Amino acid sequence: MTAAATPVSNVRPRAARRLRGGSIGLHTVVIFLMIIWAVPTVGLLLNSVRPGTEAAASGWWTAIFPPYSFTFENYAHVLEQSNIATNFLNSLIISIPATVIPIFVAAFAAYAFSWMEFPGRNILFVVVVGLLVVPLQATLIPILKLFAGWGIAGTFLAVWLAHTGYGLPFAIYLLRNFMGSLPREVFESAAIDGASPVTAFFRLAIPMSVPAIAALAIFQFLFVWNDLLVALIYIGAVRPDNLPLTVSIAGLVTSIGGGTEFLGAAAFLSMILPLVVFFALQRYFVRGIVGGSVKG
């Protein structure tokens, strides 16, 4: 109704939303789901600002009602751990290239899979997708031996490469699905106009794939930032000073033993950056990740 009254423009009128609703029932269900999903985290957050003795004696919800006894000593304790700042920096140094490298490498491969003809293309792509299932744990020992042989065990380079290798199947799968569904005519006319594949890639394929790349960046960053196993195995024993934040948080659990209130504080400190990244990038991918599904 209002859609007809709105002048034609790129801005979608509110009334032309995909699905209509707005009943009490809808809001009840949505808010109920939000509460269910938020409760576990809120519980930990509240316990992280309560004194350890109280958190052990009563449930987190008692903190909502008076008498209030909030404290930041758990956070202070975690921050006083002298290596936490170093670990934070290490996590950054590990996560940024381990997100950037697979995106570039996967984008090159996905572009070749989408828009270049070569024998065995489909079979090779299927093999790549098949590699999605290789359990990480099965690769640890052979790779560690290899790294030791090359003398890069314990270095950032080792974890960058490892995370890239492990992240590539999903990255190629996602980007190939998206790039492959971009309109063929765009690339054909670019080729007729004499654009080289490199130009078409950087000028057309990449800008058009921003939603998929943003989604991929978020997922890969989260996987790497939250990774414990890869860092522990490839850096662990050799260069403890290069370890990321997750390892020191896991260390808090074992060293304090039962001091879960410190863990809550540490967990929240480690969540800050991933949340910033999520909120910063989410607007880029609201318009669509899986291009193949929207061709209709």
| Candidate residues 69, 72, 76, 132; the one interacting with another protein per rule CB under 8 A | 132
| Candidate residues 49, 84, 159, 162; the one interacting with another protein per rule CB under 8 A | 162
Q: Does 187 bind another protein (CB under 8 A)?
A: no
In the complex, least distance from residue 270 CB atom to another protein, rounded to whole angstroms = 6
- Using a 10 angstrom Cβ sphere, with 0-12 exposed, 13-18 middle and 19 or more buried, the burial of residue 116 is exposed
Q: Does 152 bind another protein (CB under 8 A)?
A: no
| Candidate residues 109, 190, 213, 231; the one interacting with another protein per rule CB under 8 A | 109
Q: Does 139 bind another protein (CB under 8 A)?
A: yes
| Candidate residues 172, 190, 205, 243; the one interacting with another protein per rule CB under 8 A | 172
Q: Interaction with another protein in 16-75: which residues (CB under 8 A)?
A: 16-22, 26-27, 29-30, 33-34, 37-41, 43-44, 47, 55-61
Nearer to another protein, 72 or 121 (CB): 121
Nearer to another protein, 71 or 93 (CB): 93
Q: Interaction with another protein in 212-231: which residues (CB under 8 A)?
A: 215, 219, 222, 225-226, 228-229
Q: Does 196 bind another protein (CB under 8 A)?
A: yes
Candidates 108, 215, 93, 64; CA nearest to 155 is: 93
Q: Which range touches another protein (CB under 8 A), out of 65-73, 76-84, 273-281?
A: 273-281
| Candidate residues 6, 78, 184, 188; the one interacting with another protein per rule CB under 8 A | 184
| Candidate residues 197, 208, 236, 256; the one interacting with another protein per rule CB under 8 A | 197
Q: Does 280 bind another protein (CB under 8 A)?
A: no
- Cα-to-chain-centroid distance, residue 54: 34
In the complex, least distance from residue 181 CB atom to another protein, rounded to whole angstroms = 8
SS3 sequence of the chain:
CHHHHCCCCCCCCHHHCCCCCCCHHHHHHHHHHHHHHHHHHHHHHHHHCCCHHHHHHCCHHHHHCCCCCCCCHHHHHHHHCCCHHHHHHHHHHHHHHHHHHHHHHHHHHHHHHHHCCCCCHHHHHHHHHHHHHCCHHHHHHHHHHHHHHHCCCCCHHHHHHHHHHHHHHHHHHHHHHHHCCCCHHHHHHHHHCCCCHHHHHHHHHHHHCHHHHHHHHHHHHHHHHCCCHHHHHHCCCCCHHHCCHHHHHHHHHHHHCCCHHHHHHHHHHHHHHHHHHHHHHHHHHCCCCCHHHCCC
In the complex, least distance from residue 226 CB atom to another protein, rounded to whole angstroms = 4
Q: Interaction with another protein in 73-102: which residues (CB under 8 A)?
A: 89-90, 92-93, 96-97, 100-101
- Cβ–Cβ under 8 Å, residues 162 and 230: yes
| Candidate residues 63, 78, 106, 231; the one interacting with another protein per rule CB under 8 A | 106
In the complex, least distance from residue 234 CB atom to another protein, rounded to whole angstroms = 11
In the complex, least distance from residue 16 CB atom to another protein, rounded to whole angstroms = 4
Q: Does 170 bind another protein (CB under 8 A)?
A: yes
Tell me the angle at which helices 210-225 and 84-115 cross, rounded to the nearest 10 degrees: 140
